[in-house]
Structure 1
Amino acid sequence: MADSPDSAAVAALAQEQEVIGVKMKRDRVDTIAPEQRENKKMRSEDTAKDTAKDTAKDTAKDAADGYSTRKRMHGDEHSTVVAKHYNMQKEIGLEARSHSRIFYLRNFNNWIKSVLINEFLDQVRRGRDPNQPVRVLDLGCGKGGDLLKWRKGGIAHLNELRNKFQKPDEPFDLCSCQFAFHYAMESRAQVEMMLRNACAHLRRGGFFFGTTSDARELMRRHQMTNVRASEESDGEAAKRENEGTAARSNVGFGNEVYNVRFHDSGTSPPPIFGAKYDFHLEGVVDCPEFLVHFPLLECMAKKFGMKLVMKKTFSELFHTFAKKDYGRHLLNVMQALETYPAGNGSQLLSADESEYKHAADFLQNSSNPSGTVGTMSKSEWEAAGMYLAFAFTKE
């Protein structure tokens, strides 16, 4: 008998939790009733796989029932915080933006979005009448920052979810969701609503694509940081005990352009929905987000007739599209990379030379050590490394 979508989602979550390195067997005194605990003690011959599934099922039930109920009470508050943050962002102009510490990172992210838009526009137009218009739905469009990208792609029929569909009975060819899906992962209901909005009006063969945070990479950095923080000397621990101060259970991680702080210690599996962390990106983002457990998202998308066709980190996308003519052209036009070393009369974005050691090493080992190379600072590359792109097609 084939697995149900829910059991497939549970198995996917179990696999995801094992991949990101957290223990599946854990104390669940707070999540199961006493009689359930007693029954589980009697089932001593269960395999580790069964234990993992049981744990994930209990977590999933908690997320679908009580946890989601509690989250609905706070969902409006969280949405208000996010909306208020982005609504307060002011347009500072190109001149002021060029002096931003993340000038090239922002351009790089826009380059990622541009190559994705070009890629899926090409796939939709392939083999169809060139005069047939392509209809696009933009989810989480904010203030319309990608409007110019769509116009350059020749799109005349662009709908933003905040507006009513001009022709609600006509299906869309593409649905785009850029740097926004992680806000929907607060609860099962929000994820299903986002998927329904993205896929319900999509034609068969159409694409739902976007960019979001990479849960595996975030958890990897989170756990590594907390492991390092716990490896303190006995002397320091004794000093804290004498002073009556507590050890830091969650120190967060980041660099001079970004910071992430989870709302847990990183020692237990994160919840399926509502795995919250605070994210700060210099001058752009300063609000809570939620982990996107991708195998779970893939299973949930199947309920809406969607099949995953692409999932790549930003690093993988860069190495793919930078080799293509239009990708290289856009890198230059959009100033997505900084020239190292800086030319006469100009200076690097960061005054810290160690931020460009990777570029210096690359040139030193190249056939032209006295040349130049396009790059970003180490801190910007690290920030970009927390994201991935995805694409689903409607079957």
Structure 2
Amino acid sequence: MKLCTENQFAHLSDNARGNTGRAARTQSATYGLKTCNNWIKSVLIARFTRRRPGVSDFDPEDRSLRPNGRVLDMGCGKGGDIDKWNRAKIEEYVGIDVASGSIQDFNERIQSSRRRLNFRPHLYVLDCFSFPISVAVPRALLEPKFDTISMQFCMHYAFESEKKVRQMLENISNSLRIGGTFLGTTLSASRLLDLLSHIPEESEELSIGNPYYNIVFDKRDYEGTYGHSYRFTLVEAVEDCAEFIVHWEAFRELALSYGLKEVYRKDFDEVFAEEQTKPESVKLAERMGVTTNGHLNMDAEQWSACSIYMAFAFMKVK
């Protein structure tokens, strides 16, 4: 299991582990959960990736050729989403992660991959919650502004303090063009707080979970928006890692003050239900092994672990 030490961006995909092969991943006890998470990220990327306006070198009617703009991936980890961005036919990719080891593994993933990328990745080491992006990324790569900014399974680490959340939002707002999107996945505060409320009053430990995951809250009642911590464990991925609840209403209001307007927010089970009405999403779920003949390839406890997460998207409006 991976200890939450240097890399605070401990993702729930293969980003949080070594670069294992597909055969090994299919033997994982949480394979169904991780596959579903990857499918939801694929759906989110396909739906909300924005194209760069003013591109005249491609036929605007031919969606198979038209580039999907510039992407900034904050908390990119070991590059577990690189194939998703490749399928989205993006034009340029900048990935940032706090862990130098993850960036090194990302580079090795690219070099060892047999798949041809349609873009050149630019990778940098930086804590995006503590420093401006310009500290690490060359000015030439910050213009024109990005069309899409992604933060997958890592935003909740910023909620240790208001200062870190504001630095994160400043990086996003300063780097995203008007009309661009900020998309991502994180834990659902409403789901976590609901689970916490159902822990019996007489319980000595504020713990929830099942054989696949475990969450231990520091306090039952918490006043304030930031620093509401818990310890998180996921089998084969994260061990006893300090994370923080994203109080969504407060975050949405703060994000709007940075020119970011919420356009989408759904818990993972709601995403699944909605996307099952779309033939292209159904086909993708079958192809990725999330479902077989419409049935989920995971047990109820893995589905319970999956359902504590949410997907979101904001548009830069000013």
Once the two structures are superposed, residues 169-196 of structure 1 have per-residue CA deviations (whole angstroms, 9 ceiling, x without a partner) of: 2111110111010011100111011111
Alignment of 1:269-284 (within 5 A): 269-284=222-237
Cα displacement (A) at 1:317: 0.7
1:110 is matched with 38
**Relative to structure 1, is the Cα distance of residues 137 and 294 closer, same or farther in structure 2, using a 3 angstrom cutoff?**
same
Q: Percent identity?
A: 35
For 1:32-85, what per-residue CA distance to the aligned partner results, in whole angstroms no more than 9, with x for missing partners?
Answer: xxxxxxxxxxxxxxxxxxxxxxxxxxxxxxxxxxxxxxxxxxxxxx87363699
C-alpha separation in 2, matches of 1:326 and 1:274: 40
Amino acid at match of 2:6: T
How does 1:333-352 map onto structure 2 within 5 Å?
A: 333-337=287-291
Give TM-score scaled by structure 1 length: 0.62
Q: How far apart are the structure 1 equivalents of 2:253 and 2:22?
A: 42
- CA 1:250–1:271: 2 relative to 1, 3 Å: farther
Counterpart AA for 1:174? T
> Quick check: 1:290 aligned with 2:260?
no
**Conservation of the 8 A alpha-carbon contact between 2:15 and 2:80:** no
C-alpha change, 1:91 and 1:327, in structure 2 (3 Å) is same
Conserved? CA contact 2:15–2:79, under 8 Å: no
In structure 2, which of residues 44, 47, 50 is the aligned counterpart of residue 119 of structure 1? 47
Query: Which residue is 1:101 aligned to?
Result: 29
Secondary structure at the counterpart of residue 225 of structure 1:
coil
> Paired residue for 1:222, among 196, 202, 219?
196
Partner residue of 1:262? Answer: 217
Q: Paired residue for 1:191?
A: 165
Write 1 or 2 for the structure with the bigger share of helix. Answer: 1
- Map 1:22-171 onto structure 2 (within 5 A): 80=6, 82=8, 89-121=17-49, 124=51, 130=60, 131=66, 134-162=69-97, 163=124, 164-165=137-138, 166-171=140-145
Q: Which one of the candidate residues 175, 178, 183 is aligned to 1:201?
A: 175
Matched letter for residue 90 of structure 2: I
Match of 1:306? 260
TM-superposition CA deviations, 1:256-291 (whole Å, max 9, x none) = 111110111x1x235311111111111012211100
Aligned twin of 1:384: 306
CA contact (8 A) 1:139 1:198 kept: no
Provide the aligned C-alpha RMSD in A: 2.5
Alpha-carbon deviation of 1:203? Answer: 0.6
Displacement after TM superposition at 1:161 (Å): 2.6
Candidates 259, 269, 277, aligned match of 1:323: 277
Q: Report if aligned partners of 2:207, 2:215 keep a CA contact under 8 Å in 1.
A: yes
Alignment partners' CA distance in 1, 2:9 and 2:176: 26
Q: Residue 128 of structure 1: CA displacement?
A: 7.2
In structure 1, C-alpha distance between the alignment counterparts of 2:310 and 2:237, rounded to whole Å? 19
- Residue 315 of structure 1: CA displacement? 1.0
Q: 1: CA distance between counterparts of 2:258 and 2:204? A: 40
Paired with 1:381 and 1:113, the residues of 2 have a C-alpha distance of: 16
Structure 1, unmatched stretches of 5+, are 1-77, 231-247, 340-371
**Equivalenced residues, count:** 264
Distance 2:223 2:187 in 1: 15
Identify if the C-alpha distance between structure 1 residues 337 and 191 changes in structure 2 by more than 3 Å, giving closer, same or farther: same
Deviations 1:196-232 (A, max 9, x none): 12221111011001000011111111120234xx2xx
Alpha-carbon spacing, 1:226–1:126, altered in 2? closer, same or farther (3 Å): farther
More strand by share: 2
Is 1:176 paired with 2:145?
A: no
TM-score (norm 2): 0.76
Instruction: Give the C-alpha shift of residue 156 in structure 1.
Output: 2.7
CA distance in structure 1 between the aligned counterparts of 2:229 and 2:75, rounded to whole angstroms: 19
Largest Rg, 1 or 2: 1
